[in-house]
Amino acid sequence: MNLDTLLTVLNITVIGLALPLGAWRSWRKLDDRLTQQDAKLARIEYALFNDGRGMEQQLKEIYRNQQTVMTDIAVLKAIKG
């Protein structure tokens, strides 16, 4: 085995190890950034929905709709009866 062949084998081995390792490191950095973004979005959604009393407003709307339906049913019963 001469020196050129040995250097070629070493280059292929180093490149063969470096590319997957570099890709893995890049993916981990991207994954960490996405995890941070997900955490930020979760906090924003929580603030909008809970601190903005989103659930309370939805329940109030459902109650108003239910009361309207009950009133309509009572009127229809009174008309028929």
The per-residue pLDDT string of the chain (81 residues; one tens digit each, 9 = 90 and over) reads: 687 787 777 777 777 777 777 888 888 899 999 999 999 998 888 777 776 666 777 788 899 999 999 999 999 999 887
Q: Rounded to two decimals, what is the model's pTM?
A: 0.41
Nearest to 31, CA basis, from 23, 19, 42: 23
Q: What is the 3-state secondary structure (H, E, C) of 10-60?
A: HHHHHHHHHHHHHHHHHHHHHHHHHHHHHHHHHHHHHHHHHHCCHHHHHHH
